[in-house]
Structure 1
Amino acid sequence: MWATLKTYRERVVGGVLHTWLDPIWRHGDPIDLLEPRSGQTIDVLGLSCYTWNWRLQCAIAAEVKRLNPECFVVVGGPEPDYKDPEFFHLNPAIDAIAVKDGEITFSAILDKLEVGERDMGDVPGLYVPDASGRPASTGEAIQPATFPFSPYVEQSAYYDSILAGLEPGSYDVILETNRGCPYGCSFCDWGSNTMSKIRKFEIDRVHADIDWISRHSVNIVMLADANFGILPRDVEIADALNQARSAAAGFPRHIFWSAAKNHPERVVSIAQRFAGSGISTVHALSIQHTRSEVLAATARSNISAERQVEVCRSMMEFGVPIEVQLILGIPGDTLELWQSCLADLMEWGIHEDYLIQSYRLLPNAPAASVDFVDTWKVDTVERTMFDYLVRDESARINLLEKPDRIVVGCTSFDRADWIRMALWGAVVKGLHNTGFVQHIAVYLRLTHNVPYVDFYRQLIDGLMTNDPLLAGLRAEIIEHYERFLADPDLSDHMRLDSIGTFGYMLHPSRWLYVRVCQEVDDVFARIGDWVESTFLLDSVTRGLVEYQRQIIVLPSYDRERGHEFSVDVDWPSYFAAARGREGFDSLGEPVPTPGAVVRATDRRSSERVIRADGPGEGYYGKPFDWDSLAGEERWIRWIEQTVMDRASSQLNNLCDLRLFPEPSA
């Protein structure tokens, strides 16, 4: 933001030159962060504010104001709640809130301060305190219509000074090619630019940014466009990123992007280009929920789930793994609808990595409005969220980190329902996405017409309720979520007491996966008995349960020796044919192969992606390099290499499988 504001002032407005102090971009104690600026007068302080840094920014504002009482402090970003009548009373160090784009507004503030005026009532795009101290709008913000200059290029001297002390490829950047979003999802506040016309950056500016990024050996590009692929030229921009990467020896290494919601053909074209070059080897299905009544309740009904799934099916045919983005706790959801949502994805042939986020109330998103909260009778808790799957057990919640408001109840579900929904999410992620029982569920669906929702209801509310071992694991997850709702100091992570030297806490889904792997033989004996008694199937099913058990990557696996086991049917070919298959598209029984063996030769986890130069490794693959370790050290290394990232059967199951003797054609 510093570079954007500075570039606009210097290159678009011009005029009087100011002394711009270097920005504060690290997290830390405010006094320590300000120490390099000791003795310097600060006349204007601009702060870009998000949930994760809001308290820190307020502390910086207070310290700067203490040292510079006449400093004018303006805050922007999605966090400052200008609707709160007590905002300026609660934050006396702040003089104004800027809404929407900040370039023109901030420059106008500088113009006023240059001539000694502190009354900003005639600067559009602000909230300032009125006579009673309540936030008062100064009018609609004037937003830039053109974006001709690249902040990276214009402020390259500053960036070069920072990067000089860092290893190439150890830093990430944000790239914008447009601003605005035509949608108005109630949970979202995309730069305060939702429900707005898209404003394109000049293509020369975009190319300049891309060139700078590739030349500076960037690791990851976070593409800040809300709907990349919504514009025809976005395909050209994707090509430019790939070409720059090719010319710069593979930099940037990766890109994360938010795909356009209603333009499947263009998104497929872009995603295939990115997958082909290796810059993006996972495609995100930003669906939030599968059921139309839930999407309508969160003002997302104008975004077609079917169109997004159409994109995913095309990407799976191309060999690109899918990441499904879901929201737990959308007002309008119910336990039954949530169960159906998870099963719908399986019915569509999407079985990998359901990324489930809690429904957060962002201060300036529509869902945080009084009308929305009152209509749905929204019940929330405040928690400091650690979105990673693991959390360092020694890490304590920083007092300068602002907790999120998490929706845990409303008119359509209560807290008890929310706990059950969270349990379902954890079990499906921990047992289905990882491939622990996925092959069993797929076979029963495609060959014996057992709906996925019925399979998991029988598993979660049947076997995991009645079997002592699995019921104990289920109860621990439920107790975790009960404590999570009661204790504001907890995060959504569980301590792995079964490995005493493991210094991290795990998301419940990963905790469950580790625990069932630790008891794998006992667990599969129970699963085998349950499958046969519940679904009344024959010995083929018992062979399937054993096949599922044998292909799970465990600490006992040795990449030098590989793994070999017996099968009586050709399960590898069956599941190759089943991959990505929709639930209604039935599949016959596997071919009998009495006396055959399967040999696994995997040396690393990898989601095989079809790239321009042939099959390639996915972003999340890691080597199975625990050969020389023993005991807890071996388990810990296995967790680090297979559990701490994306949940996918291609990462957690053995995949380099060959059947001997090979079946005849």
Structure 2
Amino acid sequence: MRPLKVSLVELSVYANTLPLAAGYLQAYAQQDEDVAAACSFTIHAPEVKTPVEDLVALMLEADADVYAMSCYLWNMRRMKALLDELVRLRPDACFILGGPQVMNHAAEYVPADWENVAVCNGEGEKPFTAFLREVAATAPGSVPDLGRVPGISFWSDGALVTTDKPARIKELDEIPSPFAAGVFDGGEYVFAVVETNRGCPFRCSYCYWGAATNDKVHRWELDRVKSDLTWISEHGIESIFLADANWGALPRDVELTRHMVECKERNGYPLMVTMQAAKNRPDRVTEITEILVEGGMLTSQPVSLQTLSPQTLDLVERSNIKESTYVELQSKLREKQISSYTELIWPLPGETLDSFREGIGKLCRTGADAVVAYPQLLLRNTPMYERREALGVVTVRVDDPVAEADVVVATNWVTRDEFKAGVWFYYAVISLYNARAAFYVARELDRAGTCSHTDFLTMAADYFRRRTDTEICRFFDESVETLGNYDINNIGKVLHYVLHSHRAEMDTLLEGFLRERGWLADRRVRIAFELDLLARPYVYREAVAEPTVALEHVRVVSRGRHDLVAELPAEAVEMLSSFETVPGLVVTEEPRDLAVDLTADLSGFGAYGADAVRLRVNHAGRHKMPYPRRRSLDHNAAYCQVMMNRLRDILPSWTPVVPDAVAGAIDAP
């Protein structure tokens, strides 16, 4: 066998990401004695936004005989540009592409005259090793017989050849640990993806994760996983993404979670863990979440519902979280003061504009901390992709220089205009519900039977569409027209506007909407609106400001750097106390404060007036960072998006303040 220099290429979304897929490929290939003797490996994992010319220079400097390139939705345009240049500049090299974006789509990415480029059509370890053996066994200048490599597609004499796929690896310990093998030694990594098993028992038609495998879950041996996690901790990696499809589905996941916390206590790392929680395992998921929260490694729990429409669930072959299970999980997380966010997808097949709105309205009424509605992306190699014509799926490719994302903008159940209306509706959800700009108003209108959450948000979205004379609504409008919500940081920008840079504009925008509907004439609605003006959180640690809209029933008595003391009428306190079990009210005690339960009779506080109570609204929050003035909006938006998912870290606390008549020697503010 001739010696080969092999370069494995991953283009990662985040800088300094540990290249796990490349590590598996190298560790598995090196088990083969002939491959290990013939091949020298180098892994390259630059950030995906690295300019093409810089990537080309890096690859030419590597001077490899074989380039193995990992292709995903988020890096495909940049990877294709790199491939095109390398094939032109290095016609003597061999190339193998793998990943969900290219498998079974060789003809789309590989021209017929590129006979030195192959595409892997499934799990990569076996085909990659066989590919290296075949290339190494071929004399320089000769064409390798790729027909002997399983699970790939390639061009030969103008015909596309596809070989049979090898059996999936079910005994995962056949794949050596790249951590133990020293593959990652010497790297400087901040973020790591970790697999403890492969496979998914569910068959959601929009998802490649389970739909492409539809297989039982195969797992790596427990001690091997613990050893890998220990390596990550000892090498100072800050953040872990657990790539298992359903973390918490297996009893051992609790043990592995405890192990990560123990590693952090011993070594100081990792600092944060992100996971995809198992469905219908509320007790185990809550236990895992509590372990991570107590260990300082998790601040929020995602709850993946995707839809509340029974018709949609049937069409996408998803067995959703039971409603009783969802309510139980939310209740437990709320009891432990753990933030959560409920994930949806718009528009899945079967989902109508009405069902999407009604589903979100239901989540708001039941007290979800935050609702995150992701755009529906049409993923390759999923059942939905194969049925796209029958489902009436219409897509638009996002104008992105690095990614190859096809956003679903219409189905048999949603027109393009209805799709846009749904996105406008979601911008109302982000600003008025998630950002809490109209939290108390919406609840008061719903409680009184005046207007449901669904109708309130629908009317607000319609109002926003007519108010493109404001910067906030112009941003919404541009985002809807350009599919800006594809970028997760777009949500963060909404938070930045509503909770920081354009707070005053949001005040007057909301007042205009409520006044147009005639609701501000109702005393209780006006009080709820004024509570929202005081309670809307600050996403950064910054000095609080008094509302720019005149207050009629609530009076600001004093203002500190991070808090306000407000005098509230009895109806306002009753509203707060009635919402104690839902996000938006956190009761705390401070050394100067009398421990008063907001659900109790507060008439004794009449020292402030017959019906007046003074409360401190503390906006200090937890884990907030100061506003970084020299950072770009995109940078700050990424922070804001994270903080929306950790909503309880930024919500204010309401604390009764002791009047002179009760406190004695303690001075009232």
Cα 1:447–1:187 shift into 2, 3 Å = same
Q: CA deviation at 1:447?
A: 6.1
Q: CA deviation at 1:73?
A: 1.3
Distance 1:655 1:216 in 2: 38
Is the 1:288–1:326 contact (alpha carbons within 8 Å) kept by the matching residues of 2? yes
Q: CA deviation at 1:131?
A: 5.7
Cα 1:451–1:625 shift into 2, 3 Å = same
In the TM superposition, 1:239-258 aligns within 5 A as: 239-249=258-268, 251-258=269-276
- 1:211 maps to 2:198: no
Distance 2:191 2:638 in 1: 23
2:153 to 118, 123, 127: 127
Higher RCO by CA contacts (8 Å cutoff, separation 6 or greater): 1
- 1:154 maps to 2:154: no
Deviations 1:14-51 (A, max 9, x none): 76423334222114344533545657652322111112
Distance 1:429 1:4 in 2: 40
- 1:655 maps to 2:656: no
Q: CA deviation at 1:656?
A: 5.1
The equivalent residue for 2:6 is none
Distance 2:120 2:635 in 1: 48
TM-score (norm 1): 0.79
2:568 is paired with a residue of what secondary structure? Answer: strand
1:367 to 377, 381, 384: 384
1:190 is paired with a residue of what secondary structure? Answer: helix
The equivalent residue for 1:441 is 442
- 1:55 maps to 2:77: yes
- 1:279 maps to 2:297: yes
1:53 alignment partner AA: N
In the TM superposition, 1:474-493 aligns within 5 A as: 476=474, 479-480=477-478, 483-484=481-482
Distance 1:561 1:507 in 2: 23
The equivalent residue for 1:611 is none
Q: CA deviation at 1:119?
A: 2.3
The equivalent residue for 2:614 is 597
In the TM superposition, 1:501-650 aligns within 5 A as: 507=493, 511=497, 517-519=503-505, 522-523=508-509, 525-526=511-512, 529=515, 533-534=518-519, 537=522, 539-553=523-537, 556-557=544-545, 560=561, 562-569=563-570, 571=572, 574-575=575-576, 578-581=579-582, 594-603=611-620, 605-606=621-622, 621-623=623-625, 643=640, 645-647=642-644, 650=648
Q: CA deviation at 1:105?
A: 1.9
Is the 1:571–1:590 contact (alpha carbons within 8 Å) kept by the matching residues of 2? no
Q: CA deviation at 1:298?
A: 2.0
Is the 2:71–2:99 contact (alpha carbons within 8 Å) kept by the matching residues of 1? yes
TM-score (norm 2): 0.79
In the TM superposition, 1:71-220 aligns within 5 A as: 71-83=93-105, 85-89=107-111, 92=114, 95-116=117-138, 118-129=144-155, 132-134=158-160, 136-147=162-173, 149-155=176-182, 159-163=184-188, 171-190=190-209, 193-220=212-239
The equivalent residue for 2:594 is none
2:286 to 256, 264, 268: 268
The equivalent residue for 2:339 is 321
Cα 1:93–1:198 shift into 2, 3 Å = same
Is the 2:442–2:453 contact (alpha carbons within 8 Å) kept by the matching residues of 1? yes
1:279 alignment partner AA: M
In the TM superposition, 1:293-332 aligns within 5 A as: 293-301=311-319, 304=322, 306-332=324-350
Q: CA deviation at 1:374?
A: 1.2
In the TM superposition, 1:327-346 aligns within 5 A as: 327-346=345-364
The equivalent residue for 1:228 is 247
2:186 is paired with a residue of what secondary structure? Answer: helix
- 1:3 maps to 2:20: no
Distance 1:553 1:54 in 2: 38
Is the 1:419–1:478 contact (alpha carbons within 8 Å) kept by the matching residues of 2? no
Distance 2:331 2:457 in 1: 23
1:295 alignment partner AA: L
How many residue pairs are counted as aligned between the two chains?
Answer: 597
Distance 1:95 1:191 in 2: 28
Distance 1:303 1:640 in 2: 31
2:367 alignment partner AA: G
1:428 is paired with a residue of what secondary structure? Answer: helix
1:597 is paired with a residue of what secondary structure? Answer: strand
Q: CA deviation at 1:635?
A: 13
1:161 alignment partner AA: G
Distance 1:329 1:259 in 2: 22
Deviations 1:431-486 (A, max 9, x none): 1111111122223434658532233334444x657xx868867863664256326x
Moved more, 271-280 or 297-306: 297-306
Distance 2:126 2:247 in 1: 25
Is the 1:176–1:225 contact (alpha carbons within 8 Å) kept by the matching residues of 2? yes
2:172 is paired with a residue of what secondary structure? Answer: coil
Distance 1:174 1:494 in 2: 19
Distance 1:565 1:641 in 2: 33
Moved more, 258-267 or 199-208: 258-267
1:560 is paired with a residue of what secondary structure? Answer: coil
Q: CA deviation at 1:130?
A: 6.1
1:272 alignment partner AA: E
2:95 alignment partner AA: V
Distance 2:156 2:640 in 1: 53
Distance 2:203 2:171 in 1: 21
Distance 2:167 2:157 in 1: 22
1:51 is paired with a residue of what secondary structure? Answer: coil
Is the 2:35–2:129 contact (alpha carbons within 8 Å) kept by the matching residues of 1? no
The equivalent residue for 1:424 is 425
The equivalent residue for 1:609 is none
1:361 is paired with a residue of what secondary structure? Answer: coil
Q: CA deviation at 1:569?
A: 2.1
Distance 1:509 1:220 in 2: 24
Distance 2:661 2:417 in 1: 52
Moved more, 295-304 or 640-649: 640-649
Cα 1:59–1:475 shift into 2, 3 Å = closer
- 1:349 maps to 2:367: yes
Cα 1:316–1:556 shift into 2, 3 Å = closer
Q: CA deviation at 1:551?
A: 2.4
Q: CA deviation at 1:662?
A: 10
Moved more, 273-282 or 33-42: 33-42
2:238 alignment partner AA: N
Distance 2:404 2:519 in 1: 44
1:61 alignment partner AA: L
Q: CA deviation at 1:58?
A: 2.7
2:478 alignment partner AA: H
Is the 1:184–1:299 contact (alpha carbons within 8 Å) kept by the matching residues of 2? yes
Q: Where in structure 1 are there 5+ consecutive unaligned residues?
A: 164-169, 385-396, 496-503, 607-620
Distance 1:464 1:60 in 2: 42
